[in-house]
């Protein structure tokens, strides 16, 4: 569970600022994450949510700093796991899920074939995320929910202290998304890691997180889900479109079928 005071385990993002030319995309963003805390970043399109994750990963130039306290020991950067919003896949590729897990781990060149020992390790890593049965399946055959579970398993192989998820609901149906959120929630309980999720699924994700952070180039509001969703600044930030994103699109699709 999250600690009220950062005396043992936490991650701090300090005054993070990103500029693209003359445009300020992120302006002195400060985020304090406790270990064992699941936090969702919400905001309108163009608010800088994905840029925030890319800056944390070091993929875009930025000012500011990130520091962590792990087991009471200060360190500059935490180990990071990342699940991207989109992954360009060749649907006709013969690469299997197990091939992908082994390839990312760097333990063996997959074009030489996977030894039984490494296949068993990959299958075990996948099984933690209810994806062990997918080990022999081609990556191009995966559904949206299956792919997200596979990517989550791969991200966790590095034993991260901070897990970043960018729009995990993209291409996933309601049942699959709920299962994915439950898996993410279990990570917080089993591994005591910090989880930062960028999402538009305000209603669906609320039961599974500790805090919302409302971002629109800077932090506008933060707090527990009920507090932030009822904050007047939500409507001011999103405008009338707020009611269209309070539930994932798949919910509306299901309602239309009934």
Q: pTM of the entire structure?
A: 0.83
Q: What angle do CA 212, 27, 57 make, to 5 degrees?
A: 70
Under 8 Å CB-to-CB from 112, ≥6 apart: which residues?
A: none
Q: Return the ∠ at Cα 166 (arms to 66 and 212), rounded to 5°.
A: 70
The residues spanned by each domain of the chain are 1-79+160-258, 89-158
List the chain pLDDT tens, one digit each, 258 residues: 344 455 567 889 999 999 999 999 999 999 999 888 999 999 999 999 999 999 999 999 999 998 888 766 677 678 899 988 877 767 777 888 988 888 877 665 655 567 888 889 889 989 988 899 999 999 888 888 888 889 999 898 878 889 999 998 777 777 778 888 888 888 877 888 899 999 988 888 999 999 999 999 999 999 999 999 888 898 888 876 665 555 444 433 333 333
pLDDT confidence of residue 38: 94
List the Cα angle 68/207/37 in 5-degree steps.
10
* Residue with tokens 């707020």, as numbered in its chain: 242
Q: How far is CA 96 from the centre of its chain?
A: 23
The secondary structure element, H or E, covering residue 196 is strand 194-198
Q: Which CATH number fits domain 1-79+160-258: 3.40.50.300, 3.40.309.10, 1.10.10.10, 3.40.50.720?
A: 3.40.50.300
User: Quick one: angle between helices 144-156 and 116-127, nearest 10?
Assistant: 110
In this prediction, residue 2 carries a pLDDT of 40
CB 231 within 8 A of CB 243: no
């Amino acid at each position: 569970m999250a600690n009220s005071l950062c005396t043992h385990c936490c991650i701090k993002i300090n005054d993070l600022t990103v500029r693209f030319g003359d445009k300020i995309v992120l302006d002195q963003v400060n985020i304090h994450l406790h270990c064992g805390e699941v936090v969702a970043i919400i905001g309108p399109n163009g608010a800088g949510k994905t840029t925030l994750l890319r800056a944390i990963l070091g993929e875009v130039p930025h000012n500011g700093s990130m520091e962590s306290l792990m087991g009471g020991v200060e360190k500059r950067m935490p180990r990071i796991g990342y699940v991207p919003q989109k992954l360009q896949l060749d649907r006709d590729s013969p690469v299997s899920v197990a091939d992908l897990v082994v390839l990312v781990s760097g333990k063996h060149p997959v074009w030489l074939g996977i030894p039984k020992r490494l296949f068993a390790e990959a299958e075990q890593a996948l099984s933690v995320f209810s994806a062990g049965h997918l080990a022999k399946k081609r990556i191009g055959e995966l559904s949206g929910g299956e792919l997200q579970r596979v990517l989550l398993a791969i991200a966790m192989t590095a034993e991260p202290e901070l897990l970043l998820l960018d729009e995990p609901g993209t291409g996933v149906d309601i049942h699959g998304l709920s299962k994915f959120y439950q898996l993410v929630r279990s990570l917080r309980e089993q591994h005591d890691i910090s989880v930062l999720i960028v999402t538009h699924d305000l209603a669906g994700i609320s039961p599974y997180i500790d805090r919302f952070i409302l971002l629109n180039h800077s932090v506008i509001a933060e707090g527990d889900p009920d507090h932030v969703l009822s904050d007047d600044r939500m409507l001011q930030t999103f405008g009338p479109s707020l009611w269209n994103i309070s539930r994932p699109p798949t919910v509306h699709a299901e309602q239309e079928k009934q």
